[in-house]
Structure 1
Amino acid sequence: MKAFTRGILASVLMLSGLATANAADRTIIVLDASGSMWGQIDGKPKLEIAREALRSVLTTIPADTELGLMAYGHREKGSCSDIELIVPPASGSASAITAAADSMKFLGKTPLSAAVKQAAEDLKYTEEKATVILITDGLETCNADPCALGKELDQSGVDFTAHVVGFGLTAEEGRQVACLAENTGGKYTQATDAKGLEDALVQTVAAPAPAPAPEPARAPEPAKPEFNFIPELTLAEGGAPLKDAGNAWEIYKANADGAKGERLTTEYNNYKGSLEAGTYVIRATLGEAAVEQPLNVEPGQAYKPLFVLNAGTLIVRPRPSEGADIVDGAAVVLDFPGGDHRATYYGQAKVVLPAGETKLKVTIGQGEANETIQLAAGQTIEKDVIVGVGHAVVNALYAAGGEKVDASGLDVRVFKAKKKIDGSREQMTHAFGPDSKFDLPAGDYVAVVKMDQAEAEQPFNVRVGERGNVTAILDAGVLAISAPGAKTIRVFAAKKDIQGNRKEFGYEYKDTHQTTLPAGDYVVEADREANGGKKEGTATVHAGERSELTIQ
């Protein structure tokens, strides 16, 4: 679990190039407190991981950082308006935020767009600089468009930035919320484990103010109209120079030992410039390939150096099966020459890479394909990578032929059908809500669906290139309980076991409770500590039906 906790801190370190909030900024953390945060990673609920990450990071922030906490889905199930500013932004608020997160319930929907907008308004984003950091493990469930919201806030704000941390989202899901950050000049980070989340918070909340940008290179003097630096770039020795290829020219002063010193400027494409007399290091980059060489500029001289990248072009088209469409959400991981160099792209990828051996890994859902490619300088290789997966959509019905379970709290887990020697099954993936979609390698699986206290299993088979619907029957109904004045409501099976005990089926610390239960007979206990002690009622739950019980 320590390695896992280190994992929620790693993903947000991907924001290291971002201009993060400094001590003078006012920032609100928006925390997803929806029911899906009860989902587990490595056997530990995501909500506990989030609490631990906040507790760890908030001890490191500067004392004058004005920081607040907002949450959604922490008070009501099924409500799109359950949004609350729990800790207003203020300096010295770290302990209050930690305490609030530790005591928070996680049970509702995911109105992330409305929460981010409310946080922006609380920060007076149309009048002052404001930053919002959204931590979410799910997608918008309240009929709002995060992408459109990002554009709206960027256009109407003075200096507004939203950063988004996708906690436990798939690559495809991440693309659906990343635009909220990107449309405001912020950064999206995908945290797949504990360290990823903690690192994300370090970068967005606790990071020091960024160093001031270097002064721009001096413009050519009007008296010197002629360019004295006209570089050219080619992929391979003897190859044609590249034109408007999207390449960059990084120009550095050279130190006394010839190494790169202060960076003066970065220019692009077919650059022509005028450099003052002196020694420089010029670095040319295109895609993942780079080359650098020294340059000594003398007065009155012009230079047209040729930079050879020694690189080729790789085009990867990820497909789930032969003849299928390219999957935009597929992750394309490239491990290319030049030391420990790795890069990740999504969907169809066209990348310039250093010549040599590149290891390629493509993942679609739970499917993975690996290949090794030998790329020569100046060569272009186009590659269709077939991952070999089928597509399954999992739903649950309360009863055979009855109503579909249409709730974000529906927990869907997919296991391999074959049991291990100890009788357990290997879990492949999980999701929340109806119409849960999975890309899986061919084989036999079992879908385990759970809604509140009702659970069912449904075996299914996946074939490469095929789509299938999987429906599990919960054989359950909904029991709605009202016990005016009660402090606690507990639900038990009516039938006692051989020891005279009843099995408990959940509880609620208020005077109303609604839950999904397997069909059967139940005893409900309402505890009125202040006025009358415990009272009981009985109820029968029928599959596919709603039952109501009032205990006076």
Structure 2
Amino acid sequence: MRLILALVLFLTAPLAAAAGQNLLFILDGSGSMWGRVDETPKISIAKEVMSELVAELPDDARAGLYAYGHRRKGDCADIESLVALGPLDRQTLVDRIQGLNPKGKTPIRDAVNQALEELRRVEETASVVLVSDGLESCGGDPCAAVKAARDAGIEFRMHVVGFGLGDTDAGQLQCMARTGGGEYYTAANAEELSHALQEAVAVKPALVLTATRNGAPTAARVFVYRAGSDDEVLRDTLGKHPDDHNPNPARLALAPGRYDVRVVPESIDADQAQHLDGITVPKEGEIERTVDFSAGVLELIVTANGEPSAARTYVYKAGSDNEVTREHTGEDGQARYNLPPGQYDINVRPEDVAAPDRRLTGVSVAAGETLRESADFSSGELRVKVTTNGEPLDARTYVHDVDSGKEADRGSTGRDGTVSYALPPGSYRVTVRPEGIAAPDEHIEDVTVEPGAGTSRSLDIPSGRLNVDVTTNGKPLDARTYLVNAATDKEADRGSTGGDGAVTYAVPVGSYRLRIRPEGIAAPDQVIEDIVVQADRTTSRSLDIPAGRLEVKVTHEGNPLDARTYLVSEDTGKETDRGSTGGDGAVTYAVPVGEYRLRIRPDGIDAADQVIEGIAVRAGETTRKAVDFGEG
């Protein structure tokens, strides 16, 4: 039926030693071994390759041989120990191998069980290599048998060689090798079979790495670097079981040398990577290491008045600001951490209550245990309503704790003019900063919040509107305006007139004065005094500044002349405006009506200033003046 050649290598500790290794060969003598490869029966190839392998074994090796299916047809119990494990006897081994005559079935599971039972009796570490031209034919599960043996503590490594399998699915054989911590090889001819067996019995440099947590394998990522550098050599993943797709322990094949290894667990919240630095992998053999990530569970429940509450939680090493991890509570108010054993401080930052952080100190987490901690934030509700003339008002509000003087929370009123706060019990002061009107901050004093209770406060700010129209000669004028509270002499608001020359203020009731700084004409500031704003009413004021235009033409012998000009009011003696002539020698001023004089300082020629006296500017009219600087 099928040929299985199993080479079970018993390696005395340490497993990596090349000398003194123990070898147990299991040869399948089932009928399928008469199948041909390159016109030669597979059994003939196997006998020759095995005999050559035995001849090359070290003199101090120990060896044994199992076979099955070589005596009777159709008998799943046809399994025989041909050479007991013991000091290497090359001739006896070769004689037993050459004497095999394939006949029967392929009881892989039971053959492996018998071989592994012998390993259990001798109590030595072993490695198992299996070579097969087919699969189990007696209904057993060889992979499960390998797993059961490892779970029972039998120390071995299983290598499997699939010989002449063709299109047969090798998943069963691959599973045996993977579960047994060994390698799977494919051989299609004599040369490949010889190479596979040489590889299987060779002792190769490797790091055998195990990751555990609370006594059981745990998933982890592995990063291997050349010692003392960031030169990554290999990365791998350890699973949760020896027979996982990513086995744990894992055999990491590495060239001889020194390495730094970083192992990162996947199921622990904290950054608990472990470092194995300066590990030396020998030229022949293996080095074994185990990293343990034992952890406990910390369950934190955050509540507000006994009900689940949202919070941000931060875990620190006890007595330090060295953050280990953080998490946000779910809808149930719970945060769950997997943490290495140790002492921790937990900082809880509530989100549903405007309370200061709470720190739980000296929380002790033990491996394999679940610890439950809780933090309850008792609170009450403060509801603030801000209005003007009884109507909702947009405002920003700031709540300060009276005892500490610190800001507890801040918010903005909604469309209904209200804002709500969840606050710890205590005394508070609320600052209201109106946004819908130009009013100073207001304060609500002596606010007391009781646990589980609601407190309401309201603030109404009576206000009115002030409309101001600024014109010149009855037409809209651009201007900046500054509104000052007459009682406090502080600026209440400022603004600018629009295209219609108007500006509007919403301000608390009271007395004001308005300073107007025209921008469309060169006029001094104007002030409107005694403005009274009443609640829910509109006060209107207007200012018209009569003005005219002055056009001045400066020439030299009839040609335009560059010049700087300075316009002075005859009434005040103060400079009203200044300018420069353009390319056409002209400059224009828009100024209030009145008497002016103009000083002209030519730039293009060497000449003294000239002054034009008695310039009268009339409302809505243009006054024109000309000056020509002669040759002298």
Q: Normalising by the residue count of structure 2, what TM-score does the alignment of the two structures yield?
A: 0.41
Structure number with the higher helix fraction is 1
Which structure would you say has the larger Rg?
2
